[in-house]
Amino acid sequence: MGHKPLNEQVIVITGASSGIGLATARMAARRGARVVLAARSEDVLADIAAEFGTRATYVVADVGRREDVQAIADHAVATFGGFDTWVNVAGLTVYGPLRKIAIEDHERLIQTNLWGTVYGSLIAAEHLRGRGGAIVNVGSIASDLAFPFQGLYATSKHAVKGFTDTLRMELIAEGAPVSVTLVKPASIDTPLPNRARNYMDREPTLPPPIYPPKEVANAILHAAVHPQRDIFVGGGGKLFVMGKEFAPGAYDELASAIIAQQKRAEPPRNPKGALHAPQGAGRERGDPPIYVMRSSAYTRATLHPLATAGLAAGLAATAALVLGGKSARRRP
């Protein structure tokens, strides 16, 4: 299934005021798409939309409320006549032991991360059934892994994966011209840890390797034109998932090392975070205390699987010829 070129598309992006959502909105607009930005921070959205003039519009919305998500779709139709790709990015996290986190914080996280994706996907599917297009859900390597001290975040991303897979199957069964892609980033240099609700005694950070948000944005926009079922962003994340599948017990035992890499030296800056009210929006990147990779060669390769397969086949053939030649020279 192929879709319109990016410069002919209208793209809806939730969580567009920060991190991956903001990076995706800017990249899409620079590549010629018209964009509908949605988030809770009106002043930030207004500034971002102003960067791109008539190619951008925005809606103040809380994706945990279905009526707000419907308003995003209605605004896209009223402004641009509809949309071609819907990207569910909006999400937050909570750091702390499961037993210490308040139930209302658990509930709020699930409402945003899971129900926001459910509402967005179902509303988008209704619109796209008649015209074709793409739904891109941003999960995480936490869709396949659990992380200590981010238990409900991992729970929400597992649920997003299950929902996304089911939606895809049902649309295929209908013969609907709608692709559904799940993007699974590894650690990404965004303000997510800074905006998290934090129950720990220190400021949280991300375990290495960390990748720039433009890598996720590029994967999302690739899926808007050339759909793929799943896209891992960051080869390090793919290796984590493979390792856990190969030795789940060992992964459980090594979880303490992951915990150690999620804490910085300083005390929490803003323990309440943006879970219940918007704050700290407007930035694509965070301030991790360790090196951030410039790109992900693994992800760039997986976006072009035929070329990658051809390269692998060529390398294998070359290796066979070299080894074959050596073997022949050794024969008496």
DSSP-based three-state secondary structure for 35: strand
CB atoms within 10 A of CB 46: 12
Start-end of H helices in the chain:
19-30, 42-51, 66-80, 103-110, 116-128, 151-174, 213-225, 235-246, 248-253, 255-260, 297-302, 305-330
Report the SS3 class of residue 16: coil
Please, is 283 exposed, middle or buried when counting C-beta atoms within 10 Å of its C-beta (0-12, 13-18, 19+)? Answer: middle
Is position 153 annotated as part of the catalytic site?
yes
The one catalytic residue in 58, 119, 153, 298 is 153
Q: Would you call 17 helix, strand, or coil by DSSP?
A: coil
The residues, ordered by sequence, that sit 6+ positions from 162 with a Cβ below 8 Å of its Cβ are none
> Residue 9: which region, alpha, beta or left (left: phi > 0; alpha: psi -120 to 50)?
beta
Buried b (16+ CB within 10 A) or exposed e, 142-159: bbbbbbebbbbbbbbbbb
Catalytic residue positions? 153
